[in-house]
């Protein structure tokens, strides 16, 4: 294993190579991307045959992630996480997090389908009710200039396991899609992707339940003005009255969250920032037994571009793939911002997926309180 230097220049030298600034918001990590950037990332993943699991959390995603650990982890283990919902954007602005634009999964798909290219993106629709997937495939082939449907399948109402048998996976792989659109309901869809993503020979996979209905013209999407005003949920209820209960529950939960977490966090952050030291110092100790590595973070983990600590993590992951444990000493840390927290969430997720261990220790009461108010304490402090 190549020996790591303890100087901070090890981290800053990698900044230009990393392009995934990430921020923690309402307990989930969100990539700081504009709609155009997200389209480019998907295009590039398809062009290079690199796998990309796209998650598009809206308010309902966030609500469900609070009570379902596997659903929560499916977002953390995604390769691209975009803010699909105006309440998410409003909350980000209140907390000073630079998620400036809503990146709706439906809008991403629409842009890709209307973007003319030499080789159309091949799409497979999986799920939907009745013949929705087949209708979406037919309409896509009739109307799109940038996409072509290569297959459609409704697996029925079975369990995730029954929808994951070899025959189904083989049928999808045989169609050779670039983009797999899953529509099984958010929880089941994310779970199905997590269970099968390694077996699927698909560049981009995403649960985009509404896309199947929008493409198939079974449901009309809200006018752009309604979307910008954050009133798309009203339009959806008018077309699908059964959704009213879900939106009511989500809305009440959001109001409670704002009162008990978001507003207090906005005030608490400003109080701590006035007293926090300037600058961040990061050192590495890799003289521990068993090949373990310890990071010592001092000062204020404030990441203006969302990149510095992220580049540090990527450098460590690239050089320490076999490292059994990475621990982070936070005893000298007096402030940590949303970007550093989001980065740590992704770092831990990557290490755990590789079979390693990750831990924070020495966190002060103020850092613990910040993590709790951000909604990341249970994940990051869990050993």
Confirm if 261 and 375 have CB atoms less than 8 A apart: yes
pLDDT score for 222: 66
- Cα separation, 232 vs 249, in Å, equals 16
Topology adopted by domain 276-380:
Transcription Regulator spoIIAA (3.30.750)
pLDDT score for 241: 78
pLDDT score for 19: 46
- Cα separation, 209 vs 221, in Å, equals 13
- Cα separation, 31 vs 79, in Å, equals 9
Q: In what order do the strands lie in the sheet with 80-81?
A: 80-81, 52-55, 204-207, 179-183, 121-127, 147-153
pLDDT score for 250: 81
pLDDT score for 328: 84
Give the start-to-end residue ranges of the domains of the chain: 32-251, 276-380
Spatial CA neighbour of 211 closest among 139, 77, 79, 105: 105
- Using a cut of 0.75, tell me whether the model's pTM lies above it: yes
Q: 35-77, pLDDT tens digit by residue?
A: 999 999 999 999 999 999 999 998 888 888 888 888 999 999 9
Mean pLDDT by 10 residues, the chain (383 residues): 35 36 91 92 93 92 87 92 91 92 91 92 92 92 93 90 94 97 92 94 93 77 72 74 80 89 92 77 68 73 53 49 73 88 84 81 91 91 70
pLDDT score for 95: 93
């Amino acid at each position: 294993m190549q020996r790591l230097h303890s100087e901070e220049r090890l981290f800053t030298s990698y900044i230009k190579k990393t392009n995934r600034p990430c921020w923690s918001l309402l307990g989930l990590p969100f990539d700081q991307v504009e709609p155009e950037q997200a389209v480019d990332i998907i295009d590039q993943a398809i062009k290079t045959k690199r796998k990309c699991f796209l998650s598009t959390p809206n308010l309902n995603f966030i609500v469900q992630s609070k009570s379902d650990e596997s659903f929560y982890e499916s977002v953390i283990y995604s390769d691209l996480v975009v803010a699909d919902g105006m309440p998410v954007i409003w909350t980000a602005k209140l907390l000073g997090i630079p998620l400036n634009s809503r990146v709706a999964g439906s809008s991403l798909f629409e842009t890709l389908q209307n973007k003319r290219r030499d080789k159309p993106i091949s799409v497979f629709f999986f799920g939907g009710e009745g013949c929705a997937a087949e209708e979406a495939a037919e309409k896509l082939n009739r109307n799109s200039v940038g996409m072509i449907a290569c297959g459609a399948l409704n697996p029925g109402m079975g369990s995730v396991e029954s929808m994951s048998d070899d025959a189904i996976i083989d049928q999808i792989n045989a169609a050779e899609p670039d983009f797999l659109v899953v529509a099984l309901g958010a929880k089941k869809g994310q779970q199905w992707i997590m269970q099968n993503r390694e077996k699927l020979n698909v560049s981009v996979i995403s649960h985009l339940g509404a896309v199947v209905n929008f493409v198939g013209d079974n449901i009309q999407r809200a006018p752009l003005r309604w979307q910008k005003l954050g009133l798309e949920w009203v339009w959806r209820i008018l077309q699908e009255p059964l959704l009213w209960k879900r939106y009511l529950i989500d809305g009440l939960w959001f109001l409670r969250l704002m009162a008990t977490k978001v507003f207090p966090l906005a005030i608490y952050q400003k109080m701590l920032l006035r007293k926090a030291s300037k600058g961040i110092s990061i050192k590495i100790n890799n003289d521990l037994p068993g090949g373990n590595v310890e990071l010592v973070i001092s000062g204020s983990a404030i990441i203006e571009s969302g990149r510095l600590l992220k580049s540090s993590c990527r450098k460590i992951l690239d050089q320490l793939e076999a490292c059994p444990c990475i621990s982070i000493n936070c005893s000298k840390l007096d402030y940590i911002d949303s970007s550093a927290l989001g980065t740590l969430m992704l770092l831990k997720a990557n290490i755990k997926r590789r079979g390693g261990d990750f831990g924070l220790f020495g966190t002060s009461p103020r850092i613990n309180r910040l993590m709790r108010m951000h909604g990341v304490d249970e994940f990051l402090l869990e050993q």
